[in-house]
Amino acid sequence: MTPDLAILGAGPAGSTLAALLSQRGFKVLVFDDAKRPGLLVGESLVPATVPVMRRLGIEERVASYSQHKPGVSFLHREGSRIDFHFGPIAEFLPTYAYNIPRPQFDDTLRERAEELGVKFITHRATVEKGEGDREIQLIPETLAAAGLTEHPRFLIDATGRARVFARTLGIGAKSGERSDVAYFAHFENFHHDFEPAGQVVISILDHGWSWRIPLPGRLSVGIVVHKDAAKTYGETPEERLDYALKNEPLLREHSKNARRVTPVMTYTNYQLVSDRGHGPGWASCGDSFGFVDPMLSPGLFMALESARLFDEHVFSKGKAVLNQPNLMAAGFKAAEEELHDWHESWRELIRHFYDGGIFALFETGTKFSARFKGWPGIGFMERHMTKHIASMASGAFTRRKYSRGLVRFMRQYMLHDCKPPAFYSVLPEGPAKQTG
């Protein structure tokens, strides 16, 4: 087969894009280096991933080995608790998502792509700066390993955080605001008494925050702290995770009988977006273009969404588009603009949780409801705010201008009789102690 295009990387972005394009009749070759860790961040999905799974016809497979996810609960070290469920998004998206064993989920995407005719080759592809109308190209040894006598007409970088194309071409990137590091593992007998079943729990700790993601038969537990604070927890990832479980009040009692059943994995480099994501003969998809902070679990959605945007803006025009470089460039430009808006929208929403704004709004709403109980407008505003924040976190309203503006307006003008947001914030040095 002489492929119409080649994709480097068989993770969620690469396999999803390959499957979507094969459905449209493109001949796709995927290079897979077969190097996958046993645990990966991205075990909890948002409802916006379900439509793509349905389009690929894999939702039932994913459901068979995953945990149904009805929503997310946020616990604060000072005692506040906020419970979100996905019921308010019923008009726009499924009212649930899944907590997934990542290796199985990635395998399912690859298997579906293979069923649709995508060819995978186990080989670590190497690229170099291109010549003529190609800005980047496969080296001769990689072409030979794939049995290719002609170069594919287009290349997609889906190598994730390796960002192979960007590094080869010297393309810069903008990093995020935080310097955090995560340590996580799977546990058995970790007490998780949150209803309904499958509810994800995010806890704002004395230092940093933690996640608890229910999976079939086990619980994924991670801590996220500033990299400098992590050094005071111990020398190894195991020591650092164990220190947090034994010393953080929101984790200590729940973890006292827990048994770790996997190695402890480390995850760094939280937010990054490339300065440029496409050029003559190539484009970057998924994490190779950019990735966001894992709070609120947007990572897998962004991988699948980037593949969907490439399909919608470029490849939906059919195979003839490969002979129209200007049309392809315009399509990738449109997709990249949407991806930038997605990244900025997720960053803004996540920032409201990091800087304490969501908890301050919740305290204000709780006190207003108690003081003016029975007033018709109070119940409406409470439901309205809950709907929009939950819908933003689900992927339904994340980019919606009204929803984003509503949260900004409420923060600027409606915070009253509550502690300042800084009191609730996730700070590297621990909790702020302001009152008033």
- Band (434; pLDDT cuts 50, 70, 90): very low
Q: Which domains does the chain have, with CATH numbers?
A: 5-66+101-174+272-343 (3.50.50.60), 180-268 (3.30.9.100), 353-424 (no CATH)
Cα torsion through 58, 61, 66, 71, rounded to 10 = 40
Burial class (CB in 10 A: 0-12, 13-18, 19+), 129: exposed
How far is Cα 294 from Cα 297, in angstroms, rounded to an integer?
5
pLDDT digits (tens, 9 = 90+) for 296-352: 999 999 999 999 999 999 999 999 999 999 999 999 999 999 999 999 999 999 999
pLDDT of residue 432: 42
- Six token digits for residue 150: 């002609």
Provide mean pLDDT across the span 372-396. 86
pLDDT of residue 435: 33
pLDDT of residue 165: 98
The answer to whether residue 8 scores a pLDDT higher than 60 is yes
- Six token digits for residue 193: 């008494």
pLDDT digits (tens, 9 = 90+) for 273-297: 999 999 999 999 999 999 999 999 9
- Cis peptide leading into 94, omega within 30 of 0? no
Query: How far does CA 144 lie from the centroid of its chain?
Result: 35
pLDDT digits (tens, 9 = 90+) for 186-225: 999 999 999 999 999 999 998 899 999 999 999 999 999 9
pLDDT of residue 300: 97
Provide mean pLDDT across the span 22-41. 92
pLDDT of residue 35: 85
pLDDT of residue 179: 87
Strand partners, 186: 220
Share of the chain above pLDDT 70, in %: 98
DSSP string, 195-261: SSTT-EEEEE-SSSEEEEEEETTEEEEEEEEEHHHHTTS-SSHHHHHHHHHHH-HHHHHHHTT-EE-
pLDDT of residue 93: 95
- Band (428; pLDDT cuts 50, 70, 90): low
pLDDT of residue 128: 98
Share of the chain above pLDDT 90, in %: 86
pLDDT of residue 379: 77
